[in-house]
Amino acid sequence: MDKLQAEDARYLKRKVKRGSLDVHPTEKALVVQYEVEATILGEMGDPMVGERKECQKIIRLKSLNANTDIATLARRVVEECRLIHPSELPEVEQLLFYLQNRKKLQLQKHSPRDLTPFEGMEEANINSIDDYVELLYEDIPEKVRGATLILHLARNPDNLEELLQNETALGALARVLREDWKQSVDMATTIIYVFFCFSSFSQFHGLVTHYKIGALCMNITEHELKRYDLWQDELQKKKKDPDNQNVKKEHEKALKKYQGLLSKQEQLLQVALYLLLNLAEDTRTELKMRNKNIVHMLVKTLDREDEELLVLVVSFLKKLSIFLENKNDMAETYAVEKLARLLACDHENLLNTTLRLLLNLSFDTGLRSQMVQAGLIPKLSSLLADEKQGQLCMCILYHISVDDRFKSMFAYTDCIPQLMKMLFECGESHMDPELISFCINLAANKRNAQLICEGNGLKMLMKRGLKLKDVLIMKMIRNLSQHDGPTKNLFIDYVGDLAAQIGAEEREEYVIECLGTLANLTIPDLDWELVLKEYNLVPYLKDHLNPGSAEDDLILEVVIMIGTVSMDDSCAATMAKSGIIPALIELLNAQQEDDEFVCQIVYVFYQMVFHQATRDVIIKDTQAPAYLIDLMHDKNAEIRKVCNSTLDIIAEYDKECERKIQSEKFRWHNAQWLEMVENRAMGDDGEPSMFGDDGEPFMHSGDILERPDLFYTVYVSLPPADGTISPEFFTDYQNGDIGQAGGFPGR
């Protein structure tokens, strides 16, 4: 830098730009490429001198071995290396998994002694490559020898660039594999292994594709799977007469031969599938594999016993499972049924990979059904206590618990006691969202709720929920409170505690859960009048009926709460005096497009017309009957049910309303009848006339009004004239029992 620049330079700006993240070619390490750009700025901030330098950071993983927990190690790498963003955690896991298995493949399954059929073979030398190629033109044993020597060179990544330049050697290897792979399993394994060494690096994938090694591996895998089926059939035939000594000896001899062949075949399958897994890095190549039924082949391979091969197959399926078409193929081939048996294995890596695949598949409804049919609920429940696998098991079980059909099945396992233990062990510390979400789902089932509340279960939940104002715990408690029977009666002791939480100073989402729990407590012996007075709840309920006064969820819970307390005669009268009925009508106007709001508001009217004091107010002082008449023919069947039942009670006590209701029913029926006549007249000229000689319909309004049997109605038991009986027999609706005979819609 000259003198002027030295004087003007004031600031140094340093910028780091991340490049690629890959595995080290020879060591157990990750390589992070990055670029450092240093710029000297002048006083005004303008760049004066700049320099750019490419760098790399090597993250050595000395502790990586066959038993390493990949997820934990990946988190450590991301935490300790500032160059790796937390969002890259899945990619780091994949690279570590590759390093872990690359080592297994090269040093354990395919060591030179395993692949070399000759004792004392000379050390391979890159300068003798041409001599090795010559052996590929000899008979099979010499071809195996030549391929093995070339493999020794290829296993050293430093030789790959030089081998890449030798098209003769690579072309000869590809030709021998293509033409002679059926003649020697050892030869095919060795040659594929050579190309596997190239496939371990993305920059050499083009070379492997050029020689069509991937397509060959697909053909070889398919052929070997068919051979396996033939071997199995032959063994079964020789096992038919176990009492015959000659047959027994022949079977034992065949079994010994089969085990030897199977060992070599699984070695071949492993190296072929590893190569395909590497090539599947390119989604276009993966799609070609899918079109050649790679999923079906992999699922078929799940029947094997070799754990290292199974780790590879399950890992491959896990990678494929993120695409819809592959997931559907796994559903068609009943992959879940075959994966279920692997949950009993002692191989930690295989178990972890299997659970990760099942987690991917558990997002599909049909596959969740297959998991239940395969008996996964008790198997996964038994693994919840496992420190390394428990979280994965919980996530899968959570997905299964989303479906109402399967919630009850958890009651017949040790799942719920384990979950409750985990909940209580959390104390006042942070709770895993998966754990509490799972518990919330399970609490929606009646039998599960009973198990959860056993002993001090409900007491401990209420203590944590109220003390920490934990919204999720309160959501679980709310689900528990919806079940009739002994579970609901347990909540009587906590009504005061819950009512004390209802106030403007609390968070809305917390109040929603507390209010929803109270609204579920349709208990005959509960003195709601005392609760409303002691905790001054009426003003709060009225204030939160105004549209816009709070979130819709909170307003809806207020309406439901009013419906619950209106079962009590004195409470209903208190509500009417406070001006809540006009507020409900105003809310009905504002929320008339929301079926849930409409149904719950109409239900409040239904409860109130059972009591004389509130019935008179509704009929004489409000427009509620007119709104109910308008809703008689609503498109929502549940609204129609509640509306018609309410109108039937009103008609019993007010003749003017009865006349209006009958008139509206006639008008609607007549309109339906006329529409039917017009449609039939236009659709089929050959039909007999439905009109009289004077052109008028056969049925007249005067006739139909005298035919009350033509009016459809929902028959209900009416209270006596004094209106003092509360409608306990309609609590099914209030408790949310939907679809029961004669019952009303649930919330």
Q: pLDDT-derived band of residue 123, with 50, 70 and 90 as boundaries?
A: low
> What does the pLDDT average to over 537-551?
91
The whole-number pLDDT of residue 564 equals 94
- Residue 14 backbone phi and psi in degrees, to 5: -120, 130
Judged against a pLDDT cut of 50, whether residue 191 lies above it is answered with: yes
Provide CB contacts within 8 A for 329, sequence distance 6+: 290, 295, 296
Q: Rounded to an integer, what distance in angstroms lies between the CA atom of residue 501 and that of residue 507?
A: 10
Q: What is the Cα gyration radius of the chain? A: 38
Judged against a pLDDT cut of 70, whether residue 555 lies above it is answered with: yes
Pure H helices in 111-166: 112-115, 129-135, 140-154, 160-165
Judged against a pLDDT cut of 70, whether residue 7 lies above it is answered with: no
The whole-number pLDDT of residue 724 equals 38
Strand partners, 57: 32
> What does the pLDDT average to over 320-333?
95
Q: Compare 38 and 149 and report the one with higher pLDDT.
A: 149
The whole-number pLDDT of residue 50 equals 63
Counting every residue written for the chain, the total comes to 747
Q: Rounded to an integer, what distance in angstroms lies between the CA atom of residue 160 and that of residue 25?
A: 11
Q: Rounded to an integer, what distance in angstroms lies between the CA atom of residue 356 and that of residue 593?
A: 44
Which pLDDT tens digit goes with each residue over 143-177?
A: 998 999 999 999 988 899 899 999 999 999 999 99
Q: Rounded to an integer, what distance in angstroms lies between the CA atom of residue 463 and that of residue 460?
A: 5
Q: Rounded to an integer, what distance in angstroms lies between the CA atom of residue 127 and that of residue 622?
A: 103
Q: Rounded to an integer, what distance in angstroms lies between the CA atom of residue 371 and that of residue 339?
A: 9
% residues pLDDT > 70 (the chain): 83
> What does the pLDDT average to over 221-227?
94
Taking the CB of residue 379, how many other CB atoms lie within 10 A of it?
Answer: 16
61 touches 43 (CB < 8 A): no
The whole-number pLDDT of residue 742 equals 37
The whole-number pLDDT of residue 13 equals 60
Question: Among 2-11, 118-127, 337-346, which is the least confidently predicted range?
Answer: 2-11
Q: Compare 230 and 17 and report the one with higher pLDDT.
A: 230
> What does the pLDDT average to over 223-250?
79
The whole-number pLDDT of residue 48 equals 58
The whole-number pLDDT of residue 41 equals 63
The whole-number pLDDT of residue 60 equals 86
The whole-number pLDDT of residue 431 equals 87
Q: Rounded to an integer, what distance in angstroms lies between the CA atom of residue 526 and that of residue 534?
A: 14
The whole-number pLDDT of residue 651 equals 85
Could you give the C-alpha distances from 82 to 35, 57, 90, 93, in angstroms and in order?
14, 11, 16, 17
The whole-number pLDDT of residue 12 equals 54
**What does the DSSP 8-state code read for residue 163?**
H
Which pLDDT tens digit goes with each residue over 578-598?
A: 889 899 999 998 998 999 999
> What does the pLDDT average to over 116-134?
65
The whole-number pLDDT of residue 739 equals 37
Judged against a pLDDT cut of 60, whether residue 109 lies above it is answered with: no
Which pLDDT tens digit goes with each residue over 456-484?
A: 999 999 999 999 999 999 999 999 999 99
Q: To 10 degrees, what angle do helices 457-468 and 415-425 make?
A: 40
Judged against a pLDDT cut of 80, whether residue 237 lies above it is answered with: no
Q: Rounded to an integer, what distance in angstroms lies between the CA atom of residue 464 and that of residue 444?
A: 19
The model's pTM is: 0.73
The whole-number pLDDT of residue 657 equals 77
Q: pLDDT-derived band of residue 511, with 50, 70 and 90 as boundaries?
A: very high
Strand partners, 18: 34
The whole-number pLDDT of residue 86 equals 87
564 touches 597 (CB < 8 A): no
Question: Among 4-18, 485-499, 501-515, 609-623, which is the least confidently predicted range?
Answer: 4-18
- Smallest CA-to-CA distance from 607 within 498, 522, 515, 543 is with 522
> What does the pLDDT average to over 197-221?
94
Q: Rounded to an integer, what distance in angstroms lies between the CA atom of residue 441 and that of residue 398?
A: 8
The whole-number pLDDT of residue 313 equals 97
Q: pLDDT-derived band of residue 97, with 50, 70 and 90 as boundaries?
A: confident
Which pLDDT tens digit goes with each residue over 268-279?
A: 999 999 999 999
The whole-number pLDDT of residue 256 equals 84
Which pLDDT tens digit goes with each residue over 671-713?
A: 777 777 777 766 554 444 444 444 444 444 444 444 444 444 4
Question: Among 84-93, 204-213, 552-561, which is the least confidently predicted range?
Answer: 84-93
Which pLDDT tens digit goes with each residue over 339-382?
A: 999 999 999 999 999 999 999 999 999 999 999 999 999 999 99
The whole-number pLDDT of residue 198 equals 94
Q: What value, to the nearest 5°, has the Cα angle with vertex 722 and ends 721 and 728?
A: 90
Which pLDDT tens digit goes with each residue over 428-450?
A: 888 899 999 999 999 999 999 99
Q: pLDDT-derived band of residue 610, with 50, 70 and 90 as boundaries?
A: confident
Provide CB contacts within 8 A for 123, sequence distance 6+: 152
Q: Rounded to an integer, what distance in angstroms lies between the CA atom of residue 361 and that of residue 368?
A: 8
Please report where in the chains the tokens 């009417």 appear, as a residue. 576
The whole-number pLDDT of residue 23 equals 81
- Determine which helix (DSSP H) or strand (DSSP E) holds 38, and give its type and residue range: strand 29-41
For residue 201, which amino acid is it? F
For residue 516, which amino acid is it? G
